[in-house]
């Protein structure tokens, strides 16, 4: 990208205008956990005091001496404080009258069901911690997980936390190679897996795949296998153990290890859309404070709520908003094993109706799939119990936002569009639903105590307009490093601006001081010297009635520097032809301006995505520029790219 051709002080030009406002109902606001500016005021007055107040919502064995020690880029929060994450997620609820409250209401894809109360979780976690101990796991050891979405994954993570062992969860959809590399990077000594899991009616042969990885993972001493189904597998004597057998012999109680606030809680690998995976390190006290406080205030969580975060626990969203945040708050939540379109496209809505879900948190990629499938699917179900919706993972286009608001939320539920990252640990930019007025497509403003800002290339503040999203002060749940790679940690996050966290995302600030996320900085296009965010052109396309999803990339252009190529997935019932192509181009011109007119539109039934649902624009760029494909190992479905490549070559090779 040619930095010198930036036309104005704004690092990224912002072109799309959004004028609509939404507000929670009076009743919602009156009952909300917070409904005035007091949290913002407290944080503005003294950020550290604010976070200390949040930390007081947890149970500590010993109180901290110092709230924050900050030697950029290294932060220590709640120094001297001691606590245990599993104690905070379980013991204290069991003691406080919630032992019989449902913690996890689980449903498997084939329709099997289990409900685990806080007492059940407490008992299982204690026993499993004893199993790990018996196999030699000690404080600080790394335990890898390669699991389907079943309660034993949450149990296993909390059991590690109880002992002070560090969990490293590898998403069950990853390949054996990906598992192998992550086990080796963390030098894990134990792997917890399952015989298999269900996804879209198929079985994921997890133990079979794990065995492939285990050929080249010398650090692993023991493998524990949870029996999920009747999947065939090989058991290696001495190394492999059945979970249920170990549990039969395990003692009922395991004393939780009092952990220093800064002791490591987990490693989670993030590859993003490019490059070698990074083992993001989170510690105990600050992380738990961040997820505890954001769950309570962003999701307005009440004792009677039924919370459902649809993410897989293999991603940070599942770590923070299935395992640690909701459980630290004593929530009742839904956990679902399978895919949203199995056996039919209304599976999620069936679950919402059946369990009376009140808070529903999902990703834009899922919302756009629901839009594509049509509103008849949610219409089949009574969704009146929902009172709050959330979105995370990508910018949510205003069109998808309003669809979600109307067809899922019945025009009644506020939407919290939450911006954050694996690295940030907890939600950073978000509405507080009883306080913040909403604009579709904007994540609104930073959570209290989060010092987010927008900088131009040279580090000056962008008052209104586009630039780079940064965080200027440390926050409790921030990453403490990249496991085993301090240089990369500094290089990646702290080298662009001195002492300031660089998110790698573009954002713009509007005249109301609201933040609009513009996508990864690496994806920004440069058309005739205008830096245009992919997100805004995509939103303009999705704004057209025919379009369900789109991904836009900048491709080389002799005159303009870059031209825009748009990949478009149509809603059911629309025909891809030259007429529609022209209409879509005109629509973008009308919404944004002639500068953003796509040079090419490529219709595609699917877009290449990472397994967590993020569009891989890098691959689309390669396709559109006719290059050999780069690294495709993090792709969810490699055939999508091959198909696209062929279609593209047929159409544009002439």
> 117 or 422: whose CB is closer to ligand WTA?
422
> 479 or 623: whose CB is closer to ligand WTA?
479
Taking residues 580 to 619 in sequence order and writing x for each that binds ligand WTA by CB under 6 A, - otherwise, the string is --------------------------------x-------
The one-character DSSP state at 387 is: -
- Give me the least distance between CB of 544 and ligand WTA, in Å please: 21
Binding segment (CB under 6 A) for ligand WTA, from list 93-101, 173-181, 235-243, 313-321: 313-321
> 243 or 315: whose CB is closer to ligand WTA?
315
Helix axes 38-45, 47-55, angle to 10 degrees: 120
Which one of residues 88, 289, 418, 442 is an interface residue with ligand WTA (CB under 6 A)?
Answer: 418
> 24 or 429: whose CB is closer to ligand WTA?
429
> 256 or 446: whose CB is closer to ligand WTA?
446
Residue 392 within binding range of ligand WTA, rule CB under 6 A: yes
CA 316 to chain centre: 5
Which one of residues 51, 297, 299, 420 is an interface residue with ligand WTA (CB under 6 A)?
Answer: 420
Binding segment (CB under 6 A) for ligand WTA, from list 27-35, 54-62, 165-173, 314-322: 314-322
> 422 or 456: whose CB is closer to ligand WTA?
422
User: Cα(48)–Cα(42) distance, rounded to whole angstroms?
Assistant: 10
Angle at 632 between CA 627 and CA 636, to 5 degrees: 130
| Cis, bond preceding 500 (omega within 30 deg of 0) | no
**Are residues 296 and 263 in contact, defined by beta-carbon separation less than 8 angstroms?**
no
Taking residues 536 to 575 in sequence order and writing x for each that binds ligand WTA by CB under 6 A, - otherwise, the string is ----------------------------------------
- Give me the least distance between CB of 609 and ligand WTA, in Å please: 12
Which one of residues 419, 468, 475, 493 is an interface residue with ligand WTA (CB under 6 A)?
Answer: 419
Residue 422 within binding range of ligand WTA, rule CB under 6 A: yes
Positive/negative CA dihedral, 314, 319, 321, 327: positive
> 146 or 420: whose CB is closer to ligand WTA?
420
- Give me the least distance between CB of 444 and ligand WTA, in Å please: 10
How many Cα neighbours within 13 Å face the side chain of 8?
Answer: 11
Binding segment (CB under 6 A) for ligand WTA, from list 387-395, 434-442, 449-457, 598-606: 387-395
Angle at 400 between CA 396 and CA 404, to 5 degrees: 110
The one-character DSSP state at 324 is: I
**Are residues 204 and 196 in contact, defined by beta-carbon separation less than 8 angstroms?**
yes
Which one of residues 73, 325, 393, 446 is an interface residue with ligand WTA (CB under 6 A)?
Answer: 393
Which one of residues 203, 226, 301, 316 is an interface residue with ligand WTA (CB under 6 A)?
Answer: 316
What residues between 317 and 336 interact with ligand WTA by CB under 6 A? 317
The one-character DSSP state at 88 is: I
- Give me the least distance between CB of 395 and ligand WTA, in Å please: 4
- Give me the least distance between CB of 587 and ligand WTA, in Å please: 23
Least Cα distance to 527 among 435, 612, 596, 433 occurs for 596
> 102 or 268: whose CB is closer to ligand WTA?
268
Residue 365 within binding range of ligand WTA, rule CB under 6 A: no
> 442 or 456: whose CB is closer to ligand WTA?
442
Binding segment (CB under 6 A) for ligand WTA, from list 242-250, 295-303, 411-419, 559-567: 411-419
Which one of residues 240, 262, 263, 417 is an interface residue with ligand WTA (CB under 6 A)?
Answer: 417
Which one of residues 394, 399, 523, 622 is an interface residue with ligand WTA (CB under 6 A)?
Answer: 394
**Are residues 541 and 577 in contact, defined by beta-carbon separation less than 8 angstroms?**
no
CB crowding 230-267: b at 16 or more within 10 Å, else e: ebebeeeeeebbebeebbeebeeebebbebbbbbbbbb
- Give me the least distance between CB of 443 and ligand WTA, in Å please: 5
**Are residues 469 and 461 in contact, defined by beta-carbon separation less than 8 angstroms?**
no
Size of site (CB under 6 A) for ligand WTA: 21
What residues between 476 and 535 interact with ligand WTA by CB under 6 A? 503, 505, 517, 520
Least Cα distance to 355 among 99, 100, 107 occurs for 107
Sole residue written with tokens 């949290």: 39
> 64 or 315: whose CB is closer to ligand WTA?
315
Binding segment (CB under 6 A) for ligand WTA, from list 122-130, 415-423, 458-466, 632-640: 415-423
User: Cα(184)–Cα(159) distance, rounded to whole angstroms?
Assistant: 22
Binding segment (CB under 6 A) for ligand WTA, from list 7-15, 258-266, 296-304, 388-396: 388-396
Burial class (CB in 10 A: 0-12, 13-18, 19+), 92: middle
Instruction: Render 187-254 in DSSP notation, one character per residue.
Output: T-SEEEEES-EEETTEEE-HHHHHHHHHTT-TT--EEEEE--S-------TTTEEEHHHHHHT--S--
- Give me the least distance between CB of 533 and ligand WTA, in Å please: 11
- Give me the least distance between CB of 165 and ligand WTA, in Å please: 23
CA 296 to chain centre: 18
Cβ atoms < 10 Å from Cβ of 33: 15
User: Cα(142)–Cα(161) distance, rounded to whole angstroms?
Assistant: 11
User: Cα(652)–Cα(647) distance, rounded to whole angstroms?
Assistant: 9
Taking residues 423 to 452 in sequence order and writing x for each that binds ligand WTA by CB under 6 A, - otherwise, the string is --------------------x---------
What residues between 210 and 239 interact with ligand WTA by CB under 6 A? none
Binding segment (CB under 6 A) for ligand WTA, from list 210-218, 287-295, 340-348, 420-428: 420-428
- Give me the least distance between CB of 507 and ligand WTA, in Å please: 9
- Give me the least distance between CB of 311 and ligand WTA, in Å please: 8
User: Cα(422)–Cα(399) distance, rounded to whole angstroms?
Assistant: 26
CB crowding 96-135: b at 16 or more within 10 Å, else e: eebbebbbbbbbbbeeeeeebbbbbbbbbbbbbbbbbbeb
- Give me the least distance between CB of 309 and ligand WTA, in Å please: 11
Sole residue written with tokens 């696209």: 644
Which one of residues 362, 421, 426, 456 is an interface residue with ligand WTA (CB under 6 A)?
Answer: 421
> 223 or 454: whose CB is closer to ligand WTA?
454
For the stretch 630-636, contacts whose Cβ atoms lie closer than 8 Å and that sit 24 or more positions apart, written own/partner, are 631/274, 631/275, 632/608, 633/175, 633/177, 633/178, 634/178, 634/271, 634/273, 634/610, 635/608, 635/609, 635/610, 635/611, 636/173, 636/608, 636/609, 636/610, 636/611
Q: Which residues bind ligand WTA (CB under 6 A)?
A: 270, 315-317, 391-395, 417-422, 443, 503, 505, 517, 520, 612
């Amino acid at each position: 990208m040619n930095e010198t051709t930036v036309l104005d002080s704004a690092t990224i030009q912002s072109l799309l205008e959004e004028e609509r406002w939404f507000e929670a109902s009076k009743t919602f606001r009156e009952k909300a956990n917070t409904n005035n500016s007091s949290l913002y005021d407290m944080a503005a007055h003294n950020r550290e005091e604010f976070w200390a107040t949040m930390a007081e919502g947890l149970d500590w064995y010993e109180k901290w001496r110092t709230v924050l020690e900050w030697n950029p880029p290294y932060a220590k929060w709640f120094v001297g404080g001691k606590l245990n994450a599993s104690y905070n997620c379980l013991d204290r609820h069991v003691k406080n009258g919630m032992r019989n409250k449902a913690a996890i209401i689980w449903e498997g894809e084939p329709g099997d069901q289990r409900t685990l109360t806080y007492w059940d979780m407490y008992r299982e976690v204690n026993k499993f911690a004893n199993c790990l101990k018996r196999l030699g796991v000690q404080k600080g050891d790394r335990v890898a997980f390669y699991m389907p979405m079943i309660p034993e994954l949450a149990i296993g993570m909390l059991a590690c936390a109880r002992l002070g062992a560090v969990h490293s969860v590898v998403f069950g959809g990853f390949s054996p190679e990906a598992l192998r590399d992550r086990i080796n990077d963390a030098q894990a000594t134990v792997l917890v897996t399952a015989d298999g899991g269900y996804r879209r009616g198929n079985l994921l042969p997890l133990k079979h795949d794990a065995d492939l990885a285990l050929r080249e993972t010398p650090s692993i001493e023991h493998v524990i296998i949870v029996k999920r189904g009747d999947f065939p597998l090989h058991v290696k004597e001495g190394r492999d153990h059945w979970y249920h057998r170990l549990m039969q012999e395990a003692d009922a109680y395991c004393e939780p290890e009092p952990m220093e606030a800064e002791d490591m809680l987990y490693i989670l690998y993030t590859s993003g859309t490019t490059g070698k995976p990074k083992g993001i390190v989170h510690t105990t006290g600050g992380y738990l404070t961040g997820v505890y406080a954001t769950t309570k205030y962003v999701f307005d969580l009440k004792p009677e709520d039924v919370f459902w975060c649809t993410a897989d626990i293999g991603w940070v969203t599942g770590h923070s908003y299935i395992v640690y945040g909701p459980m630290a708050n004593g929530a009742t939540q839904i956990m679902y094993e399978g895919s949203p379109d199995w056996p039919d496209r209304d599976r999620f809505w069936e679950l919402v109706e059946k369990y009376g879900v009140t808070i529903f948190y999902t990703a834009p990629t899922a919302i756009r799939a629901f839009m594509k499938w049509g509103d008849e699917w949610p219409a089949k179900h009574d969704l009146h119990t929902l009172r709050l919706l959330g979105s995370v993972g990508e910018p949510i286009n205003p069109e998808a936002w309003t669809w979600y608001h109307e067809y899922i939320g019945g025009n009644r539920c506020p939407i919290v569009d939450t911006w954050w990252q694996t690295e940030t640990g907890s939600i950073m930019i978000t509405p507080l639903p009883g306080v913040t007025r909403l604009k579709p497509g904007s994540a609104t403003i930073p959570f209290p105590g989060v010092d987010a800002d927008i900088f131009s290339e040279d580090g000056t503040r962008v008052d209104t307009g586009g630039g780079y999203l940064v965080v200027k002060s440390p926050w409790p749940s921030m990453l403490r490093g990249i496991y085993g790679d301090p240089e990369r940690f500094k290089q990646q996050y702290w080298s662009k601006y001195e002492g300031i966290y660089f998110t790698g995302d573009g954002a713009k600030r509007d005249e109301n001081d609201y933040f609009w996320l513009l996508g990864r900085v690496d994806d920004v296009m440069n058309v005739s010297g205008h830096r245009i965010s992919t997100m805004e052109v995509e939103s303009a396309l999705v704004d057209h009635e025919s379009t369900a999803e789109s991904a836009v990339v900048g491709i080389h252009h002799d005159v303009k520097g870059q031209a825009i190529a748009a990949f478009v997935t149509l809603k059911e019932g629309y025909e891809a032809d030259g007429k529609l192509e022209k209409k879509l181009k005109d629509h973008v011109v009308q919404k944004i301006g002639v500068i953003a007119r796509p040079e090419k539109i490529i219709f595609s039934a699917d877009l290449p995505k990472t397994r967590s649902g993020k569009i891989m624009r890098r691959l689309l760029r390669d396709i559109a520029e006719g290059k050999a494909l780069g690294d495709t190992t993090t792709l969810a479905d490699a055939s999508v790219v091959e198909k696209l490549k062929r279609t593209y070559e047929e159409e544009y090779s002439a």
